[in-house]
Amino acid sequence: MPKPGPKKNAKNAIDKALAEEEERKRLEEGALLFLSNGPALQLVAAEARLAELRAKKERELKELRLRETFEAFVSQEKAKLETETEDFLRKVNGYDSVVRKFAATKRDEADWKRFLLCSKLPDPTNEPELNTYLGLWAEETVGNDDDPSVQALVDALPDAEKLCNNIAEAVSLECDALNHGAQVNLRVHLATMRQLIQSKWDSVSCRIMQHFDLFGSEPNENFHYATSTQDYICGLWGNLTRNPRHACVIDGSYDLYRVS
What pLDDT sits at residue 39?
Answer: 61
pTM > 0.85: no
What pLDDT sits at residue 41?
Answer: 60
Strands 256-259 and 222-228: unpaired
What letters, b where the CB count within 10 A reaches 16 and e where it falls short, cover 72-107?
A: eeeeeeeeeeeeeeeeeeeeeeeeeeeeeeebeebb
What pLDDT sits at residue 259?
Answer: 41
- Percent of the chain's residues with pLDDT above 90: 2
Radius of gyration of the chain (CA): 52
What pLDDT sits at residue 34?
Answer: 55
Cα separation, 15 vs 46, in Å, equals 45
Backbone angles phi, psi at 142, to 5 degrees: -95, 115
What pLDDT sits at residue 169?
Answer: 85
Segments of the chain scoring below 50 in pLDDT: 1, 244, 246-247, 250, 252-260
What pLDDT sits at residue 45?
Answer: 67
User: What is the 3-state composition of the chain as percent helix, strand, coil, each rounded to the nearest 5?
Assistant: 70, 10, 20
